Every structure is written in structure tokens, then in C-alpha cells.
Amino acid sequence: MSARMRREAHVEEAQRRADAANQPATGGPTRRSGRDRWVRPFFKQYRKALAVALALGVATFCFASGLMFTSGYLIAAAAEMPGSILMIHMPTIFVRIFGIGKPILQYLERLTSHDWVLRMTSALRSKLYASIEGDAILFRRTHRTGDVLGLLAEDIGHLQNLYLRTVFPTVVAWLLTVVVVAVLGFFSLWFALAMLLALLVVVVLVPLASVLATRARVARRKAIKNELYCELTDNVLGVSDWIFAHRGAEYLNRYRSSQRVLRDVDVELDRFARRRDLISTALFGGIAVMTLLWAAGQFGGVHGGTANWIAAIVLGFFPLIDAFAPLSTAATEAGSYRASIDRLNELPDDPGNCGKAEDRPVRTANRKNARTEDAAAAACAPQVVLPSPGAPPTIRVESVRFSYPEAPRPVLDGISLEVRPGERVAILGRSGSGKSTLASLIRGDLKPDAGTVELGGVPAGSFGDDMARYLGVIQQQTYLFNRSLRENLRIGREDATDEDMNNVLERVGLRTLVERLPEGLDTLVDEAGVRFSGGERHRIALARVLLQDVSTIVLDEPTVGLDPATERALLKAVFATTEGKTLIMITHHLQGVADMDRVVFLEDGRIELEGSPAVLARESERYRRLLAFDRGFPSRSHA
């Protein structure tokens, strides 16, 4: 079984990679959104650290240049044989200062810039989280295929690279240009101007030209690569069919020809980069010669004396090339981050405190953990009084209609349903019949297009995050965070004690298992060797919901993918631990249905059949047929 799990994990990973190729966050085609909310606004944050890092970056190159400058001067001055060592005392001191200072500055520069970028990352992550948090549940539902969230997290990583590898060196080079021109201006205005023009060519014109020249090809390369990526992933995932169909060789030929197209673009891009580098080198050589000629004209013509400066200035120029040369590559590289930035900009704007003002209820008085943002939210909310969370509320669904955007037919088309406190209701239907949509409506994550959904007389949509105090959900896939078991359980109740946790673990039948774990509750859930099985994961989910201590529980097909014995044991545990609570079980087959008070069949957005299992078994031909089918061969015990 572990093999299958592993394969699934790989498939997920591959899908994520394929998604990276073609999925914008909101699913639709990529639009260039109007405002950049993810790059520039963050420069203002941590301005000081940024300024320090940039200053250090500039200083590093100044010192590198200074080392060669003073060395050149030292030698030239010594060659005059002034007779006294004191005459070259100052240059020798500076040689040492620059020699020691340059590596140290560079070291500090690297640390500050990384520190700055990582601070930025913390802020970006918070922002990303806040952007998604508002509509988290729907976001997960509408992006079921592939791992968009993983993709977005990677995008943040790309922004880091953008800062460190493109923005930062470029700004340093520009600042350095200013410094160089200013220093030269001190000696000669005309030469400073010439130098400015020459440097503008290498720090602005060449990078810009190479971006413009390669942009189309880079985009084309990316498109081809994405296509290749998706195609290959698709076919590797279906490899067993290629092998069984004996068509493997056919695919290899197909792949080779697509690969060749990509290769052609790559070759062109590489050739361009090489030529550009050659031209840049010629430019730098030209600037060096220009500097030499100017220095010779300015200070030359004498033996020694001011002529000492010629060697100093020329030698001082060379280390600066290291600052200017990488700009073109950096600029071309920046284009590849475009998709990431677009994807982030497409996310909903930070909802802030009053994002959903119209739904916000006033908090009931007995809240345990009043938080400041709650108060802020409450301030901009209308007056809704929530029911007390102790007893299960009556759930009333009144002629509800609901369609997903762009779907041809409504998912729910006039549904009315009342679930009384403590009642156990199974909602049965095919995939796509609207079962899960109904659950989302009850939890208030979706709002009906028509009709009402109420819990204890209050519209479900107005509970907001407080819904978690009334209603718990066990999902199809239980997500366990890669933290300790204790932390995973505490998501149910923040202040749960070890005793509370051991109690619920006992109730869900996991106590002995957990006690046998090497570190008990402190075991990390995904640590090698401690992989919980599907059934165990759902039991942990149940424990979490029990800690949450809610009066209504929704089971959203938690048994899909479990074998019947495990499924049966899990359902037994759920039923045994939720006595007295309202239970809504969404399911696609009959296991456990016999223990429910009522069964509701959904079909084509309507309630097709409804009644207690006993009555249905007596009166409904359809239900009987399903029962007979499910039971299988005669001797199996009754369902």
C-alpha cells in the first residue's frame, strides 16, 4: 500500500509542476492586472535595511577599486625612489585598509541583503496567507486539481530571487555609476560626462536592448517548455498504457521532435548571450582605453610626479567591471518571474478587517478568547445575535437554488430540508449531485442564489469564523499538518490539555497507538516511519472535531478510498462518539446508512427520495434494489 501512497505523492508533485506551467491562481486566462501589489510596495518596508545593504554593495566595489587604485599609486610613487619610506606611507596604509575592508564589506553586504530579503519574505508570506484566508474553503474547492497553493508558495521564492539577483545588483550598479561620475567630475566635467554616457550604455542600454531582443524568444521558449512539460508529465503518468499499447517508440519520436524545437530556441538565445557578452567586453575595453587616454592627457607628460595617478586610475577601473557586467543577464532573467508576479497580483486583495462587513455578527458574550481583530470586525458589523453554542441548532434549508459561475445548470435546484437537533441524516447521491455543495451552504461558506439556509434561525452566512463553534467537519481527505500530533489536535481546541487529548484519543480508539509512538503526543505526524493510514488519519480528524466540542458534525464522504472493514470501524467510532449531536453524513453508498434516522437522495439538484431507512426499505423499490445490490451474495448478513 505504501507504494501506492508514494506514487500518489509523486503524481501530485508532477501535477504541481505541470500546473506551474499553465495555471494562474484564479483559474481563468492570465490577465495583466492593473496594480502591482507584490513587488514595489515592499521596498518601502524595511527601508533602512535596504539602504544599508545598498550602501554596503556600493562600498564593496569602491573598496575593490580602491585597492587597485592605491596599489597602482604606491608602485608608481615608489618608482620615483623618493628616498624615504615615509613618502609612500599613506598609500601603504590605504592598500591595507582596502585589502582588508573589501572582503569584510562584501561579507556584510551579503548578510544584510539576505537578511533584508528574508524579512521581506516573512511579510510576503503573511500577505499571501491573508489574501487566501478569507475564502480558503472555496479556494481549496475550486482548485482541486494540482497544487496551486504550493505554486503560490514557490512564487514567493521567485520574488526573493528577483530581489537578490536582478533588482539589487542593478540598483547597486546604478548607484556606482553615480559615484564614479561624481568623483570624475571633480577632476574634469567633460570626461565625467563622457564616462556617464559610456556607463549608461553598459548599465542601461545594453541590458534594455538585450531584454527587448530576447523577450519574444524567451516567451516562446517558456511556452514551448511548458507545453513539453505538460505533455511529458501527462504521458509519463499514463506510461502503462503506452507500454501495453506497444506505442512507446511512437511517443519517443514525438517527444524528440518537440525537444528539437525547444533546442533551436535555446541555441539562438545562447548565441545572442555570447555575442552580447563579447560586445560588452569590447565596450569595457573601450572605456578602459578612454580612461587611460584621459588620465595620460590630464596627468602625463612629466616623469613621475602627477603621472603616478595614471597607473592608479587605470588600475582602479578594472574591478568596477564586475559590478556592471552581470546586469544584462540579470535583466533578461527578470522576465521569467513575470508569471509569478502576475499570479500573485491576481489574488484577491488583502481583505483587511472589514472585508465582509455585511456578514459580520456581533460576538456573543461568552467568548473565550476575545481577540482584538474581532473587536475591530465587530465594530463594522450589523447587529446579529448568534444562538448559544451549547445545544444543537435546528438547521433549516428553504427552497435553495445554487449555481457555480459558468456552470450550465444549477447544482441545487429548489431544495428544502430541515434537520432537527440531534437528528442523524444521510445525504446520498452521485458525484456531482450537489451533496458537498449543500454542506458548504450549511456551513455558510457558500451563499444560496435563492432561498435561505439558517442555523437556529440565523442565516448561515452570517456566522463567519464563529461557525467553527457550532459545526465541525470531517473532510474527504484529512489534512494533518507536519507538526506534532499535539499541535494537530490543538487545532480543534487551542487550550486542550494532555488529559483532554488522551480522553478523545481513547474515545476514537487511538490511545494505545499513540502511546506506542516513540514520542507520544510529541511525534511529528509525517516523520519517516510514522505514517498514519487513511483510517487513522480520519480518527485523528474525529478526535479534533470532538475537542472542538461542537453540537453538529458534517461528515463529507470521509470513507472514500477506505476498504470496507476500515470504513465500517471508522463509522462505528463516529456514531459511538457523537451521541446526542446532530450528524449529517454525506455519502455515495450505503455503508452505515442503516443507523441513520433519515436518508435523503439527491439527484439533479433536487431531493429525489427521503425517509427513514426502515420505511424506505419497505416502500421504495429503488432503495431495495440498491440494498440488494450492495449486499451481494446471499449469505452476507443484512444491511
Partner 1 sequence: MLDRAIFALPGVRRVLALLASASALQALCIVGQAWFLATALANLWHGAPIPDQTAWIALFFACFVARQGAVYAEDAYLETYAYDRADELRQELLRKVFTTKAQVVWDNGTGSVAAAMLEGVDQVQAYFRLILPKITSIVVIPLIVLAFALALDWVSALIMFIMFPFIVLYMIILGRNAKDAASRQYRTFQVLSNHFIDTLRGIDTLKLFGAGKRHGASIFSVSERFREATMKTLRMATLSSLVLDLFSTLSIAAVAFMLGMRLLDGTAQLFPALAILIMAPEYFKPIRSFASDYHASLDGVNALKSIQRLIGAPDGSDHSCELPDWGATSRMELRGVGCSYDSHRVLENLDFTAEGFRKYGIVGASGAGKSTLVSLLGGFLAPDAGDIELGNTPLPDFKQDGWQRQIVYIPQDPYLFHATLRDNIAFYRPDASDEEVARAIDVVGLDDLVAELPCGLDTLVGEGARALSGGQAQRIALARAFLDNSRRILLFDEPTAHLDIETEMELKERMLPLMEGRLVFFATHRLHWLDDMDEVIVLDDGRIAEHGPLAELEANGGALGRLAAQTAWETT
- Is residue 580 near partner 1 by the rule CB under 8 A? no
Angstrom distance (rounded) from CA 357 to CA 86: 78
- Is residue 458 near partner 1 by the rule CB under 8 A? no
Asked if 169 and 58 count as a contact pair (C-beta separation under 8 A), the reply is: no
Report, in Å, the least distance between residue 564 CB and partner 1.
Answer: 4
- Is residue 379 near partner 1 by the rule CB under 8 A? no
Residues 355-374 that bind partner 1 (CB under 8 A): 371, 373
- Is residue 635 near partner 1 by the rule CB under 8 A? yes
Stretch that binds partner 1, among 29-37, 95-103, 186-194, 357-365 (CB under 8 A): 95-103
**CB-wise, 174 or 574, nearer to partner 1?**
574
Angstrom distance (rounded) from CA 186 to CA 63: 19
Residues 2-21 that bind partner 1 (CB under 8 A): 2-4, 6-7, 9-15, 17-18
- Is residue 494 near partner 1 by the rule CB under 8 A? yes
- Is residue 222 near partner 1 by the rule CB under 8 A? no
Asked if 149 and 23 count as a contact pair (C-beta separation under 8 A), the reply is: no
Residue given cell 477506505 in the structure block: 562
Residue 19's alpha-carbon distances to 147, 206, 229, 258, 610, in angstroms, are 7, 34, 10, 19, 42
- Is residue 24 near partner 1 by the rule CB under 8 A? no
Residues 383-442 that bind partner 1 (CB under 8 A): 428-432
Angle 233-237-238 (CA atoms, 0-180°, nearest 5)? Answer: 120
- Is residue 76 near partner 1 by the rule CB under 8 A? yes
Angstrom distance (rounded) from CA 608 to CA 601: 5
Per-residue binder mask for partner 1 (CB under 8 A), 307-346, x = binder: xx-xx--xx--xx---------------------------
Report, in Å, the least distance between residue 34 CB and partner 1.
Answer: 25
Query: For residue 79, which amino acid is it?
Result: A
Angstrom distance (rounded) from CA 329 to CA 33: 26
Among 104, 357, 385, 615, binds partner 1 (CB under 8 A): 104
Angle 115-50-97 (CA atoms, 0-180°, nearest 5)? Answer: 85
**CB-wise, 120 or 174, nearer to partner 1?**
120
Nearest of 605, 604, 608, 541 to residue 577 by alpha carbon: 541
**CB-wise, 399 or 482, nearer to partner 1?**
482
Among 37, 110, 165, 356, binds partner 1 (CB under 8 A): 110
- Is residue 624 near partner 1 by the rule CB under 8 A? no
Angstrom distance (rounded) from CA 216 to CA 227: 16
Q: Count residues binding partner 1 (CB under 8 A).
A: 187
Residues 285-304 that bind partner 1 (CB under 8 A): 285-286, 288-289, 292-293, 296-297, 300-304
Among 358, 418, 449, 465, binds partner 1 (CB under 8 A): 465
Among 24, 316, 361, 492, binds partner 1 (CB under 8 A): 492
Radius of gyration over alpha carbons of the chain, in Å? 34
Query: For residue 511, which amino acid is it?
Result: R
Angstrom distance (rounded) from CA 361 to CA 384: 5
- Is residue 118 near partner 1 by the rule CB under 8 A? yes
| Percent composition of the chain: helix, strand, coil (DSSP 3-state, to 5) | 65, 10, 25
